[in-house]
């Protein structure tokens, strides 16, 4: 792909209107969401969606999340069962993605769902993402705006670092507030957690009034977030480390001696919001061996530990 000049758009009315115009023309624009920056394209255009896979170097069998402005728009694309309606009403807009049966005749490029009969849908909470969706009046397909297999971006600078020269523009609204990708859930035939994320599992279980099952290995599609090595920094990670060994850089959590700390006050929300930025910073420092403090396996800690385990996994 020939290098193009990636524009940095500001998060004001002018930036939002430029981003929408580019997207309407089939270009790729990275947009801020409350979870991570997404690499957006018009979900109704085969050409625009194909360009996402090309820019990310993403295997085409991995389907994409479709972002819409409201539950009403989502209902034009997928079949909602009672659990799905209840979850959407409780948690949208927000960091929850629902995998549901695709409605026959929905105006969504087949590339988005990679040939599956289901579609992943989300209504983002970030004001700028909502403004772009409203101005465009079309659904947006958007994976995280990073080269395939690399750390997800939580700032416009992370996006430029990974995809600068390959995409038309980035709409810069500062750092993402949640900082981890959305929680992905399929509701049929019974609720199954496909990826832990920014909405804690216990919130979903409390809303449904019943436990949510885990995805069984080898079941259904292989999603990139479910591949063993993913979200990978360049250095190697040692998890559950009490302190750094010689030659290691310490990524702390809580009141420990550390080079970088996810949350000195042991706040999981803060740690989630800072995780990818800290991994990007360690990459920028050229850290080769990274020791990471233990993170409690509760609430958002489940999703943080999921990302850390994948980042620590042997590279294929």
Rounded to a whole number of angstroms, the minimum distance from the CB of residue 276 to Mg ion is: 10
Tokens of 117: 């009969």
Contacting residue, 224, 233, 252, 301, with ligand TXA by CB under 6 A:
224
Binding map of ligand TXA across residues 100-129, x = CB under 6 A, - = no contact: -------------x--x-xxx-x-------
Q: What string of H, E and C letters represents the secondary structure of 50-101?
A: HHHHHHHCCCCCCCCEEECCCHHHHCCCECCCHHHHHHHHHHCCCCEEEEEE
Q: Which span sits near Mg ion by CB under 5 A: 55-63, 136-144, 264-272, 287-295?
A: 136-144
CA separation for the pair 11, 241 (Å, rounded): 40
Nearer to ligand TXA, 195 or 263 (CB): 195
CA separation for the pair 177, 199 (Å, rounded): 13
**Which of the listed partners (ligand TXA, Mg ion, none) does 142 bind, with a CB threshold of 5 to 8 Å by partner kind?**
ligand TXA
**Which of the listed partners (Mg ion, ligand TXA, none) does 122 bind, with a CB threshold of 5 to 8 Å by partner kind?**
ligand TXA
**For residue 314, how many other CB atoms are within 10 A of its CB?**
7
Radius of gyration of the chain (CA): 19
**Which of the listed partners (ligand TXA, Mg ion, none) does 278 bind, with a CB threshold of 5 to 8 Å by partner kind?**
none
DSSP characters for 193-230? EEE--SS-HHHHHHHHTS--EEPPTTSS---GGGSSS-
Contacting residue, 4, 85, 203, 223, with ligand TXA by CB under 6 A:
223
Nearer to ligand TXA, 121 or 290 (CB): 121
221 interacts with ligand TXA by CB under 6 A = yes
Reported as half-sphere exposure (CB side, CA atoms, 13 A), residue 238 has a value of 15
183 interacts with Mg ion by CB under 5 A = no
Contact indicator for 48, 66 with CB cutoff of 8 Å: no
50 interacts with ligand TXA by CB under 6 A = no
CA separation for the pair 213, 215 (Å, rounded): 7
Q: Which span sits near ligand TXA by CB under 6 A: 17-25, 60-68, 165-173, 289-297?
A: 60-68
33 interacts with ligand TXA by CB under 6 A = yes
Q: Which span sits near Mg ion by CB under 5 A: 80-88, 101-109, 140-148, 288-296?
A: 140-148
144 interacts with Mg ion by CB under 5 A = yes
Strands (E), the chain: 7-10, 29-31, 38-42, 65-67, 96-101, 118-122, 140-141, 169-172, 183-186, 192-195, 213-214, 236-238, 249-252, 260-261, 289-292
Contacting residue, 143, 196, 200, 301, with ligand TXA by CB under 6 A:
143
Q: Which residues does 36 contact at the CB level (< 8 Å), separation at least 6?
A: 144, 145, 152, 153, 154, 176, 179, 180, 181, 276
**Which of the listed partners (ligand TXA, Mg ion, none) does 113 bind, with a CB threshold of 5 to 8 Å by partner kind?**
ligand TXA
Nearer to ligand TXA, 196 or 252 (CB): 196
Closest residue (Cβ) to Mg ion? Answer: 144
Name the residues that contact ligand TXA, by CB under 6 A. 33, 35-36, 38, 62-65, 97, 99, 113, 116, 118-120, 122, 142-144, 181-182, 184, 194-195, 221, 223-225
């Amino acid at each position: 792909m020939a290098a193009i000049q990636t524009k940095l758009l500001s998060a004001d009315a002018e930036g939002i209107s430029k981003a929408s115009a580019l997207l309407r023309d089939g270009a790729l624009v990275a947009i801020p969401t409350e979870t991570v920056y997404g690499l957006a394209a018009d979900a109704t255009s085969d050409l625009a969606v194909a360009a996402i896979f090309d820019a990310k170097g993403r295997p085409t069998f991995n389907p994409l999340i479709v972002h819409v402005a409201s539950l009403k728009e989502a209902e034009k694309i997928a079949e909602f069962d009672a659990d799905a309606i209840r979850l959407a009403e409780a948690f949208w807009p927000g960091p929850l993605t629902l995998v549901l049966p695709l409605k026959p005749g929905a105006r969504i490029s087949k590339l988005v769902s990679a040939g599956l009969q289901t579609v992943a849908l989300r209504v983002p909470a970030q004001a700028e993402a909502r403004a772009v969706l409203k101005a465009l009046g079309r659904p947006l397909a958007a994976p995280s705006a990073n080269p395939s297999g690399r750390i997800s971006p939580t700032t416009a600078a992370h996006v430029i670092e990974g995809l600068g020269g390959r995409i038309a523009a980035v709409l810069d609204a500062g750092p993402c507030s949640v900082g981890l990708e959305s929680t992905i859930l399929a509701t049929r035939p019974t609720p199954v957690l496909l990826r832990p994320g920014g909405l804690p599992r216990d919130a979903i279980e409390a809303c449904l009034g019943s436990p949510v099952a885990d995805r069984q290995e080898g079941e259904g599609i292989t999603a990139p977030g479910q591949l063993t090595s993913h979200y990978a920094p360049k250095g190697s990670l040692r998890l559950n480390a009490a302190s750094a060994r010689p030659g290691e850089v310490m990524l702390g959590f809580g009141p420990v001696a550390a080079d970088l700390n996810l949350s000195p006050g042991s706040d999981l929300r803060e740690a989630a919001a800072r995780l990818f930025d800290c991994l990007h910073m360690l990459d920028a420092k050229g850290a080769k061996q990274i020791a990471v403090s233990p993170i409690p396996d509760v609430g958002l800690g489940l999703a943080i530990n999921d990302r850390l385990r994948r980042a620590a996994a042997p590279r294929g």
